[in-house]
Structure 1
């Protein structure tokens, strides 16, 4: 088992949080620990560990760290892992949606963990192919969810935090997330776009928020009430469209309580492939990581990777 620590997680407190629980982890599992300073270093070291036969790689950080490990091991040419590796996690980050719903005994020192490959299994992976504003193609994978619209913009604000929000990320993650959400609502604007579901055009108003999801938890405190499972071979496609700021705020408040279906302006599909072409470039979010795009398509890769429980 190799644990890769993101020292910059949780507003720069990731390494401190790791050192507080490292002895407790060592009591239960033998491991090798690597602490890269940059994302590029992390990718290189994860690939080196996997190529020498490491069977379990643990992402010690937030959901973005899990996403980095996933994208390091996945091969876009085959949509399969390059190496036989199970992905686990230590929830040292901000949202830690990968760990939800949290199990009462799955923690060390209050930090949620998924370290045992025998308690996990094979899960679906989402693949996103997009064009950046210059028309260059990109591919990335995700385990949890992807979004366009307000959620993506809120994640962008959270990732680019400065001033008060940067301070809040260190001392109170939930308040920092709420601060970013408030900023996204203040800057709220619908995204006019064309949309296809499983190859069929869908008439929609402008996108207020679009979730293409494999897990119902997102943004730390949000939860959809749609039926997706991590191994069912489908996305849940959850759309809020044509809303004004007040209507969107009302819908988000309901989603915070786990109530999406039935909200005014809400639509839901089960799908294996989704495509969106915005009228103007916007931002795409994948497991909390945000990218500028002018077109994006998503598809499900069934039971592609093994995760720990």
Structure 2
């Protein structure tokens, strides 16, 4: 097989994704604009959703899991009175209700959605069913009975409420579906509901205020886009950082346990650097680190 064409460029580009395009389309445009050999993203946003889409380039793709696993914050609006096939405004209405909740009723229901909860993903989601994506099966008209899965919800807060809508803020862990929260909250309140607007405000260390506008990303603006890149290690702020000894750095770069200075809890995931920059993500083993992902920067 031939080598992938493109530049060896590494780092993170935080894009403020607009509505109406897929997360994959954003990644493809970033890769094209920068002529990058390799790119990926940390956490899909629905086509209608906006906000933080963190695009990893080159060696930064090895740190995607740390962002995928991190807490994320969403600002979203629920429209009451209808449940849809997609649990957002793009779907067909399945059921309607004339009931409308008060702000007090909404606030009283929120604690049931905080902490360790079980959540059934939307039928139109990227969850895999027998090796196929749920949204592909749903588009074919299949009735899906998706299994509930655990989700950590750090907080769910009512920001604003009127007769027909409510605006909330959700901070949750990996694998959370805001559309499921809207659907289940609507059922709990007896009024039905779906997501009208959804914006990811931050994802781990990455904030939407640091985001680049999608329409500014182009081949003509390549040098400017490249200036907006954050270093690979900006994704690792939640992990302890240790320094490799010169001998340790050589061993780690070859995939072997290497000696480090500094300390962490035995078995903790850490990242290791030397004078040249990040070397690896690995497990601390009392004076040494066993590398799991080695960076070739």
TM-score (norm. length: structure 1): 0.28
TM-score (norm. length: structure 2): 0.29
Task: Choose 1 or 2 for highest CA Rg.
Answer: 2
